[in-house]
């Protein structure tokens, strides 16, 4: 045998090196373009608030987290859809979630309406203000000059006195207590707190409280200026009252509460019969309170009618403020960081 080692197979020739060319030889350079990394729409910095539309998946995830809590402890219950099994209570919610819910309460829902509907709201507010000021002025002039509508005070008062009955006296007394200076603030407070807790946002309960406060300030300011005396004490059923008569605080409080509440509910509804029914109930309540004050002998006719006119003016102010803050036409942007688009109308 031969001890000759077989020769290795020849290698492939090395690839030729690339030659370096100058800019003149390579031709003109393409313009420099800075490529910015595309930011994922889901990426969010910790300090940024959730966007109502862009971060809707985060809203849904947070809502699920509010309703359920993750079960991580060994031996914990695995009932339901694991790992979310146990419902979240006030004790298990984190301070961050509670703070977010509290902040969400004070967001204002901006409702999208047509341009003609917004124009109608402003026109209604102007008409209510004009009618209310006219009624109040006519009654005030009659009281100060003892003419005009003031001449009907005694005949109307005498008619109610002649129509008194035991059963009707009980009904009118209940109305007087319900809309009186003790029960009425409690009712308004309970309604506003309950509405704030149950609703998604607290704008409308706050508007109701503001309208009621405006009515109280108006009544307390006007009465000492006019200083109109009440009917004779012997005509008063529930005891003597030596305060001034013009305007009627009971009627003003009842009118403000019923009219403002009816507007704040009806303005978010599209069902026309429901709107009409709300204002019809408000009108019935106002008429009942007017009859109660005249029947019990604590006010003149001019006092209660002037209170209704003043309530129209307050309702007009509420409509303007609410429309300016919450009503927008389709295509108009949402104004401010404390605003959000209306979703459920609550």
- Same structural domain, 86 and 128: no
In this structure, is residue 53 part of a structural domain? no
Average pLDDT over residues 248-263: 91
**Residue 108: in which H helix or E strand, if any?**
strand 108-113
Among 105, 140, 162, which residue terminates a domain? 105
| Alpha carbon 279 to chain centroid, angstroms | 18
73 and 207 in a common domain: no
Tell me what the pLDDT averaged over the chain comes to.
75
Structural domain for 89, as ranges: 61-105
**Is 1 a domain residue?**
no
Asked if residue 138 and residue 202 are part of one domain, the reply reads yes
Average pLDDT, integer, range 317-331: 83
- HSE, CB side, 13 Å, CA atoms: give it for residue 54: 9
Residue 233 has pLDDT above 80, yes or no: yes
268 and 225 in a common domain? yes
| pLDDT higher than threshold 70 for residue 50 | no
Angle between helices 203-226 and 249-266 (to 10 degrees): 160
**Quick check: is 51 in a domain?**
no
The average pLDDT across 269-273 equals 84
**Statement to judge: residues 205 and 318 lie in one domain:** yes
Looking at residue 82, its pLDDT comes to: 40
**Token output for 316:** 């007009």
Contact 325, 141 (CB under 8 A): no
Domain count, the chain: 2
Residue 148 vs residue 49, higher pLDDT: 148
Same domain membership, residue 190 and residue 100: no
CA 160 to chain centre: 40
Shared domain check, 170 and 125: yes
302 occurs within a structural domain: yes
**The pLDDT of residue 281 is above 90:** yes
Residue 128 pLDDT > 90: yes
Let me know if residue 31 belongs to a domain.
no
Assess if residue 37 is contained within a domain: no
Do residue 71 and residue 217 come from a single domain? no
In this structure, is residue 34 part of a structural domain?
A: no
Query: Is 0.95 topped by the overall pTM?
Result: no
Q: With residue 159 as reference, give the H or E element that holds it.
A: helix 153-162
Token couple for 17: 């090196």
- Which is more confident, 83 or 149? 149
Answer yes or no: do 74 and 198 share one domain: no
Q: What is the pLDDT of residues 163-221, one digit of tens each?
A: 888 888 888 888 888 888 888 889 989 988 888 888 777 788 888 999 999 999 998 89
Percent of the chain with pLDDT over 70: 64
Orientation angle between helical segments 56-67 and 95-105, nearest 10 degrees:
120
Confidence bin at 147 (pLDDT 50/70/90): confident
Q: CA-to-CA distance for 309 and 291, rounded, in angstroms?
A: 16
Pairing of strands 327-329, 108-113: parallel
Specify whether 96 is located in the same domain as 148.
no
Mean pLDDT over residues 122-138, rounded? Answer: 93
Is 4 within a domain?
A: no
Q: Which residue has the higher pLDDT, 60 or 262?
A: 262
For residue 290 the two structure tokens come to 């007017």
Q: Between these two residues, 108 and 149, which has the higher pLDDT value?
A: 149
Q: Are 230 and 288 within one domain?
A: yes
pLDDT at 257 over 70: yes
Looking at the fold, whether 234 and 327 belong to one and the same domain comes out as yes
Last residue of a domain, one of 85, 105, 125: 105
pLDDT for residue 103 is more than 50: yes
Q: Which residue has the higher pLDDT, 26 or 113?
A: 113
Q: Are strands 339-341 and 108-113 parallel, antiparallel or unpaired?
A: parallel
Closest listed residue to residue 341, CA positions, set 41, 44, 51: 51
> 308 and 255 in contact (C-beta within 8 Å)?
yes
**At 73, is the pLDDT very low, low, confident or very high (cuts 50, 70, 90)?**
very low
């Amino acid at each position: 045998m031969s001890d000759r080692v077989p020769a290795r197979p020849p290698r492939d020739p090395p690839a030729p090196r690339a030659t370096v060319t100058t800019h003149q030889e390579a031709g003109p350079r393409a313009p420099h373009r800075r490529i910015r990394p595309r930011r994922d729409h889901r990426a969010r910095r910790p300090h940024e608030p959730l966007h109502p539309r862009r971060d809707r998946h985060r809203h849904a995830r947070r809502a699920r987290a509010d309703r359920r809590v993750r079960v991580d402890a060994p031996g914990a219950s695995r009932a339901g859809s694991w790992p979310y099994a146990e419902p979240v209570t006030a004790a298990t919610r984190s301070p961050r979630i509670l703070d977010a819910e509290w902040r969400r309460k004070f967001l204002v829902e901006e409702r999208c309406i047509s341009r003609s509907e917004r124009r109608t709201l402003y026109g209604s507010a102007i008409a209510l203000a004009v009618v209310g000021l006219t009624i109040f002025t006519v009654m005030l002039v009659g009281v100060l000059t003892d003419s005009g509508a003031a001449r009907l005070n005694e005949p109307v008062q005498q008619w109610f006195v002649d129509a008194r009955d035991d059963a009707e006296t009980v009904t009118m007394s209940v109305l007087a207590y319900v809309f009186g200076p003790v029960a009425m603030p409690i009712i308004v407070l309970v309604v506003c707190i309950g509405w704030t807790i149950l609703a998604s946002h607290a704008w409308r309960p706050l508007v109701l409280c503001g309208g009621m406060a405006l009515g109280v300030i108006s009544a307390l300011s006007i009465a000492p200026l006019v200083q109109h005396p009440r009917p004779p004490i012997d005509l008063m059923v529930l005891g003597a009252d030596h305060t001034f008569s013009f305007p009627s605080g009971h009627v003003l409080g009842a009118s403000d509460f019923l009219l403002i509440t009816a507007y704040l509910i009806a303005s978010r509804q599209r069902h026309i019969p429901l709107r009409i029914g709300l204002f019809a109930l408000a009108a019935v309540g106002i008429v009942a309170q007017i009859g109660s004050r005249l029947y019990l002998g604590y006010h003149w006719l001019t006092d209660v009618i002037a209170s209704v006119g003043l309530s129209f003016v307050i309702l007009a102010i509420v409509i303007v403020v609410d429309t300016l803050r919450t009503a927008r036409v389709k295509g108009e942007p949402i104004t401010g960081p404390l605003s959000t688009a209306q979703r459920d109308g609550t």
